[in-house]
Amino acid sequence: MRSRRPLYAALVCVVASLPFSASAQDAAILSAEARFHPVIAERGMVSSQEALATEIGVDVLKAGGNAVDAAVAVSFALAVTLPRAGNIGGGGFMIVHASKTGETVAIDYREKAPAAATEDMFLNDAGDADSVKSRFSGLGVGVPGTVRGLALAHQRYGSGTLTWADLIEPSIVLAREGFPVSDDLASSLSSNWIRMHLARDDEATRIFYGPTDGPPAAGTITTRPDLAATLQSIADDGPDAFYSGPIAEAIVAKVNDAGGRMSLDDLSGYAAEVRAPVTGRYKGYTIASMPPPSSGGVHLIQILNILEGLPIAESGLNAAKTIHLMSEAMSYAYADRSMFLGDPDFVDVPVGWLTSTDYAEEIRAKIDPDHATPSSEIRPGTPPAPYESNETTHFSVVDEAGNAVSNTYTLNFSYGVGFVADGTGILLNNELDDFSAKKGVPNAYGLIGGEANAVEANKRPLSSMTPTIVFKDDKVFLVTGSPGGSRIITTVLQIVVNVIDHGLDIASATAAPRIHDQWLPDEIRIEQGISPDTIRLLEEMGHTVALKDAMGSTQSILVTPEGTLHGAADPRSAGSLADGY
């Protein structure tokens, strides 16, 4: 692949002396002040959390595939090379922009509860939420949506030049002939938590630890023969090979042996949905993001609406005042999340009200510019009646024609529920832990839920995944998204404001330290890199500030006004790669 970093560095020196009348972010793209530089390409680009998958996507673009074709190939590749989150046994969301028609759609391939699911299935005999059931048993496994979602995307939005089988072939080769274990894969498989998680299943232990009799060292060539055979069936016979026949039977047997309630009818009846994205305006840009059953797009737009009337650009990146205002806005949004968000096929989600500028103004009026509002004083809002109806992975693709894909998909926990359907190589999810097991009891990410996200047969659990495309003058400007559980929404938010408000290039916007506030617990989580002086000022305003692990792994592509592609794979994830041609 041609790398243009040195050329870019030279260009920076030349342009630093040129007069600019461009907007803040145009100037920042060419700024000599930047400490981080994006990868630059002219024709097409992929940014994902794993380098082999990125290169497969770039090869698809070079072979004449469009952004959706590349996205399908990247998704199958990540199921092989990034098994902790890349998957065919989980689900996710894809935002697709088709440049020819100008259409932008949201493909919902989130897992569903099986038909035999009941509201009390995650409770113990005393009526308390039992997280072992929702996180570590077959009851937590949702009916997987990934294969149907990718098939739908390819059929409706693919270029037509590359077949379904063409796009799966590179992953079959990786799984059958082997690939070098990355530092990231070696590190995750050797962590104590993952060893214990996977040790509960003989099949998972055989596949991930058997060949090397323990965690594989980085660089070891590893094969996944069962997964290769499964992928070959899906390539030969289409998505039905996953949803009926021997593969479906193996999934159902594994789930039910582990205490679950899945049937062959649940699998054969699974359908992905095309939904209208949730949209908003922010400082002259249009935001298109994932609607319910994700809470991501709704609250991204809600928080941006609140921030639009607050002086965060003036107070500056990660200044105490900026963090305070952002944290207050986040807190109100997460309080609303707990009350109103759920699967729109089951509950009436007040999207219009939550994303309205009038409601944002109401919240803004409650924010004290100098003092923290305790979470106990923040309550979900009251909609006008009746109202209208840490481990995930994201990748972004833009092609030469201006098509774009923003895709986030997941098994929920790292390696999902930790069980592999025997003989298939398919790791199963534990996505149903994203339901609210009991009103007011937090899920694995500390998120509180209510009736709207209660367990019901065939319902999709609420998500925070926020695949997003930002448009300027109807053209794709920024494609972004992230893993990170509850922190996904605020991570994506910070990419948007770092570029639009703070004028950072996409690499610097990605590297900047992140903050997060989700209403409960009542604290601002911060990454390393926020200055002690800033922390002290926040504490003086009444905030509790907690230093936590790095948040998110954004994979972003920014399109400059000239049409050049700037990619930034998050340095927080070892092995991430943005590349193009």
Site string for ligand GLY, 372-411 (x = CB under 6 A): --------------------x-----------------x-
Interface region with ligand GLY, contact rule CB under 6 A, candidates 129-137, 176-184, 305-313, 462-470? 462-470
Provide the minimum distance between the beta carbon of 283 and ligand GLY in the complex, in angstroms, as a whole number: 27
Helix (H, G, I), strand (E, B) or coil at 426: strand
In the complex with ligand GLY, the residue whose CB is nearer, 318 or 482, is 482
Q: How far apart are CA 51 and CA 555, in angstroms?
A: 12
Point out which residues pair with 420 in neighbouring strands.
427
3-state helix, strand, coil in the chain (%, to 5): 40, 15, 45
Of 364, 352, 483, which is closest to residue 87 (Cα–Cα)? 483
Burial label, 532 (beta-carbon count in 10 A; 0-12, 13-18, 19+): exposed
In the complex with ligand GLY, the residue whose CB is nearer, 427 or 559, is 427
- Report the 10 Å Cβ neighbour count for 13: 9
Q: Are 89 and 426 in contact (CB under 8 A)?
A: yes
Check binding of 485 to ligand GLY (CB under 6 A): yes
Check binding of 171 to ligand GLY (CB under 6 A): no
Provide the minimum distance between the beta carbon of 485 and ligand GLY in the complex, in angstroms, as a whole number: 5
- Report the 10 Å Cβ neighbour count for 62: 15
Q: Are strands 565-569 and 39-41 parallel, antiparallel or unpaired?
A: antiparallel
Name residues whose C-beta falls within 8 Å of residue 299's C-beta, 6 or more positions apart in sequence: 333, 334, 336, 337, 354, 489
Sequence-ordered alpha helix ranges (H) in 481-565: 488-500, 506-511, 532-540
In the complex with ligand GLY, the residue whose CB is nearer, 355 or 410, is 410
* Catalytic residue check, 392: yes
Point out which residues pair with 395 in neighbouring strands.
407
Sequence-ordered alpha helix ranges (H) in 82-224: 131-136, 146-157, 164-177, 183-190, 192-199, 202-209
Give the CB-nearest residue to ligand GLY.
463
Check binding of 463 to ligand GLY (CB under 6 A): yes
Provide the minimum distance between the beta carbon of 406 and ligand GLY in the complex, in angstroms, as a whole number: 15
Provide the minimum distance between the beta carbon of 506 and ligand GLY in the complex, in angstroms, as a whole number: 23
In the complex with ligand GLY, the residue whose CB is nearer, 340 or 477, is 340
Interface region with ligand GLY, contact rule CB under 6 A, candidates 181-189, 205-213, 322-330, 463-471? 463-471
Q: Are 522 and 376 in contact (CB under 8 A)?
A: yes
| Span 211-240, contacts to ligand GLY by CB under 6 A | none
Provide the minimum distance between the beta carbon of 491 and ligand GLY in the complex, in angstroms, as a whole number: 12
> CB-hemisphere CA count at 13 Å for 47?
32
In the complex with ligand GLY, the residue whose CB is nearer, 266 or 431, is 431
Catalytic residue, chosen from 392, 424, 491, 510, is 392
Amino acid at 506: I
Provide the minimum distance between the beta carbon of 488 and ligand GLY in the complex, in angstroms, as a whole number: 6
Q: How far apart are CA 54 and CA 73, in angstroms?
A: 9
Q: How far apart are CA 182 and CA 192, in angstroms?
A: 18
Interface region with ligand GLY, contact rule CB under 6 A, candidates 56-64, 119-127, 372-380, 459-467? 459-467
Residue with tokens 């609140």: 306
Check binding of 134 to ligand GLY (CB under 6 A): no
In the complex with ligand GLY, the residue whose CB is nearer, 453 or 464, is 464
Point out which residues pair with 281 in neighbouring strands.
286
Interface region with ligand GLY, contact rule CB under 6 A, candidates 45-53, 77-85, 461-469, 567-575? 461-469
Provide the minimum distance between the beta carbon of 412 and ligand GLY in the complex, in angstroms, as a whole number: 4
| Span 412-451, contacts to ligand GLY by CB under 6 A | 412, 431, 434
Among 77, 465, 495, 545, the residue binding ligand GLY under the rule CB under 6 A is: 465
Instruction: Tell me the chain's radius of gyration from C-alpha atoms.
Output: 23
Could you give the angle at which helices 183-190 and 192-199 cross, rounded to 10 degrees?
70
Q: How many residues bind ligand GLY (CB under 6 A)?
A: 9
Among 137, 406, 453, 464, the residue binding ligand GLY under the rule CB under 6 A is: 464
Q: Are 567 and 45 in contact (CB under 8 A)?
A: yes
In the complex with ligand GLY, the residue whose CB is nearer, 85 or 325, is 85
Could you give the angle at which helices 67-81 and 164-177 cross, rounded to 10 degrees?
20
Interface region with ligand GLY, contact rule CB under 6 A, candidates 148-156, 458-466, 527-535, 560-568? 458-466
Q: Are 109 and 91 in contact (CB under 8 A)?
A: yes
Check binding of 188 to ligand GLY (CB under 6 A): no
Provide the minimum distance between the beta carbon of 408 and ligand GLY in the complex, in angstroms, as a whole number: 8
Q: What residues are annotated to the active site?
A: 392
- List of residues contacting ligand GLY (CB under 6 A): 392, 410, 412, 431, 434, 463-465, 485
